[in-house]
Amino acid sequence: MTGWTDHLTVTPIILPLMASALMLAFDERRRVLKRVLSLATAALLIANAAALLWFAGDGGGPLVYLLGNWAAPFGIVLVADRLSAMMLLLTSVVGFTALFYAVARWDRSGPRFHALFLLLLMGVNGAFLTGDIFNLFVFFEVLLAASYGLILHGSGTERTSASLHYITINIAASLLFLLGVALLYAVTGTLNMADLALRVASTDAGDLALLEAGAAILGIAFLLKAGIWPLSFWLPRTYAAAAPPVAAVFAIMTKVGIYVILRLSSLLFGDASGEAAGFANEALLYAGLATMIFGIIGILSARQLTRVAGYYVLVSSGTLLAGIGIGGEALIAAMLFYLVSSTLAVSALYLIIEPVERNADEEDMIAGIAEPVFDDEYVGAIEEVTDEQGVIIPGTIAVLGGGFIFCALLLAGLPPLSGFIAKFAMIDALLNSSEVEPAGWVLIGLIILSGLATMIIMTRAGIDLLWTPGEDAPSRLSLVEVVPIGLLLTVCLGLMLCAGPVMAYLEKTSSTLHQPAHYVAAVTDAPQAGSEK
Amino acid sequence: MEIVLALAIGVLTASGLWLIFRPRTFQVILGLSLLSYAVNLFILAAGRLRSDAPPIVGRDPASADPALYADPLPQALVLTAIVISFATTALLLVVLLASRGLTGTDHVDGEDGEA
């Protein structure tokens, strides 16, 4: 890999930034131009991420890009290894489909949607690529600032008041982030992640407590983004308040927190880190399990599908964090598969909820739950059926129903879709470890239980919203809305069909995560441009 | 010097925390601002306290002893952090006004519990 391909590592940040800046120059009335520009950018991002995945995966080790050609650790580095490339591809796929969906009508409900959306993609991409902990803070702020704008997109009382909480909590978390960075810098004297990894191993025993305090404070900032219990009460409400395409792309934001935790725990607290090794693994495990329990209860008690999706995001975060807590190569690989599959599925769910609920006229979407369970739950439905003169299934309902079932199967993890493969691989990895700890059994139980809870609520919602003939004629469903949902579900289908190669890639990813020395060596030995090597 | 800085950080943090647990949005914003000042001072402290020491090394090789200089990196970090927190506070202020306009109250939940 030489020449222009070197710059592929920085283009996922530059490209959306430039497109977004360019868009500010045009009037809001140039809508077609903006749509074309932002969709083209998103498509290019997919191609870019796929190329990075290819280069990072062909065995050459992580791609390191020295910004401003300053040698590491003095300058800021961007590092694209297998994990980053995978996350970039996931982000660009989710981003592209959400943008496509937004073109149907959502980008018209407020100004500068496309510019903010691309800035969000830039922030997320930057957070995945950067190898510098303060630069990570800057990209976090970029993605948060864009997300503040997006969550307010469309305005309204609910959105404004939800975003007030969201912004306040995230500013507080950013302050914690800074505190953690300052503590790490005070102890180690560096902000470069690879350099940090080297210095953690040789930290004095006396300074270790300070270092761990810094890492813990930093961790809380990321865990808050990931939606860990008890710091997650803001999440379902905020995501439910956001416009559907915005919520769909927010599904990736919790994964940014997970990614950073995975990255830092691999680099800073891997087996090579001496006394600090394995720091906070137990805390992650128990917090993850608690998040799963909270999420499952939330799923069962939710009365709107958007809330169900929000709680499902929590369950997925909890599963991933508990997985990181237990650790092990096979489990991390399975976990990454679950990460990809669940992000795509939740994203598709957020997109499909709005057309599904458009037909329902009640404020309380899943009506059955508010009614007595035994007396008359199905009375209304049966009466309506007798009124019908034969059931005609219109195209809209068939498409929506099909997509909804697909989503439900994916989320609940029923065979044969990728959700099932992910959960099966996780449980398999847990059972195959030399000795299954009690916490491992609890995790297995909760994984299965969360699938059951999701199935119950999705069946219930499906019956209420889709499969009970209603009085209203089904609303029109535009092709622009169907295509992105279809795309996401097709990607999930592809994940299922190509599970073998995907798992092989993820297993290699996981094994590189367990050998941080490669990452560190790639960063510290990165040749400067223009120098002979 | 150390004790003054430590006290300043402590007082700012305590006041900031007290304010962000208040029910009025304006108090919350002030609390966040105070907290960000505390954090900025903390970052400076993380680079070891030096007074009367320049952060920039001169051209003269004889004076290139790092012990003579303050650490420039925390100063750069604080500068970035100030800009970012200023921008987000301004944004939060706008959302506060929007929320006040839409709900008719400045309570953080958009409704007055006591009234």
> Residue A130 gets which letter from DSSP?
B
Question: pLDDT confidence of B35, banded at 50, 70, 90?
Answer: very high
In a domain, A1, yes or no: no
B20 within domain boundaries: yes
**Omega prior to A73 cis, within 30 of 0:** yes
Task: Please state, as a whole number, how many other Cβ atoms lie within 10 Å of the Cβ of residue A304.
Answer: 17
Are A151 and A165 part of one and the same domain? yes
**B108 close to A (CB below 8 A):** yes
Q: Is residue A511 part of a domain?
A: no
Report yes or no on B59 lying in a domain: no
Residue linked to tokens 């909480």: A165
Is the domain of A345 the same as that of A401? Answer: yes
Q: Are residues A274 and A284 in the same domain?
A: no
Contact A518, A62 (CB under 8 A): yes
Residues of A in contact with B108 (CB under 8 A): 164-165, 168
Taking residues A487-508, what's their average pLDDT? 87
The ipTM (two decimal places) reads: 0.90
Q: How many domains does chain B have?
A: 1
Structural domain contains residue A228: yes
Answer whether the bond into residue A230 is a cis peptide, omega within 30°. Answer: yes
* C-alpha to C-alpha distance for A63 and A70, rounded to whole angstroms: 16
Within this chain, do residues A59 and A74 fall inside the same structural domain, yes or no?
A: yes
Residue B24 placed within a domain:
yes
Question: Are residues A160 and A198 located together in one domain of the fold?
Answer: yes
Q: Which residues of A touch B89 (CB under 8 A)?
A: 171
Q: Say if residue A275's pLDDT is above 80.
A: no
Find, in chain A, the residue whose alpha carbon is nearest to that of B86: A171
Q: Are A453 and A296 in contact (CB under 8 A)?
A: yes
The answer to whether residue B97 is domain-embedded is yes
pLDDT digits (tens, 9 = 90+) for A25-70: 887 777 788 888 888 999 999 998 888 888 887 766 788 888 888 8
Q: Which amino acid is at A56?
A: A
Residues in a beta bridge with A77 = A66
Is the CB of B102 less than 8 angstroms away from the CB of A156? Answer: yes
Query: Which chain B residue shows the shortest CA-CA distance from A180?
Result: B43
The enclosing domain of B18 has a CATH number of: 1.10.287
The verdict on A145 touching B (C-beta cutoff 8 Å) is yes
Residue of chain A nearest B80, judged by CA positions: A138
- Contact list in A for residue B28 (CB cut-off 8 A) is 168
Of A163, A174, A181, the CB nearest to B95: A163
Task: Write out pLDDT tens, residues A323-337.
Answer: 888 888 888 888 999
- Among A131-135, A215-219, A529-533, the range scoring the smallest mean pLDDT is A529-533
**Residues A198-207: pLDDT tens digits?**
888 777 777 8
CA dihedral A188→A194→A198→A200, nearest 10 degrees, is 50
Decide if B80 and A138 are in contact by the 8 Å CB cutoff. yes
Residue A61 included in any domain:
yes
Residue A20: name the closest of A43, A41, A5 by CA: A41
Clarify whether residues A533 and A422 are in a common domain: no
B3 to chain A, minimum CA–CA distance in Å?
18
Q: Exposure pattern of A332-367 as b/e (b: 16+ CB <10 Å)?
A: bbbbbbbbbbbbbbbbbbbbbbbbbbbbbeeeebbb
Helix, strand and coil content of chain A, in percent to the nearest 5, comes to 75, 0, 20
Which of A144, A148, A172 minimises the CB distance to B32? A172
User: Do A110 and A131 reside in the same domain of the chain?
Assistant: yes
For residue A183, the distance in angstroms to the closest alpha carbon of chain B comes to 6
Number of domains in chain A: 2
Residues B16, B28: Cα–Cα separation, whole Å:
8
Contact B84 A174 (CB under 8 A): yes
Domain membership of residue B82 (yes or no) is yes
Q: Give yes or no for A183 touching B (CB within 8 A).
A: yes
| Domain-located, residue B61 | no
Q: Which residue in chain A has the smallest CA separation from B85?
A: A171
* Residue A338 and residue A242 share a domain: no
Whether residues A328 and A304 fall in one domain: yes
- Look at the alpha carbons of A413, A417, A419, A424 in this order and tell me if their dihedral is positive or negative: positive
**Contacting residues of B for A134, CB less than 8 Å apart:** 77, 80
Same domain, A64 and A81: yes
Domain span at residue A202 reads 17-278+519-533
Residue A444 lies in a domain: yes
Residue B38 lies in a domain: yes
Considering the domain architecture, whether residues A176 and A312 belong to the same structural domain is answered as no
Residue B28 contacts A, CB cutoff 8 Å? yes
Q: Classify residue B73: in a domain, yes or no.
A: yes
Task: Tell me if A8 is assigned to some domain.
Answer: no
| A352 and A425 both lie in a single domain | yes
Note whether residue A10 is domain-resident: no
What is the pLDDT averaged over residues A279-305?
Answer: 87
Containing domain of residue B76, as a range?
Answer: 2-51+69-103
Q: Name the residue among A145, A174, A182 with its Cβ closest to that of B46.
A: A182
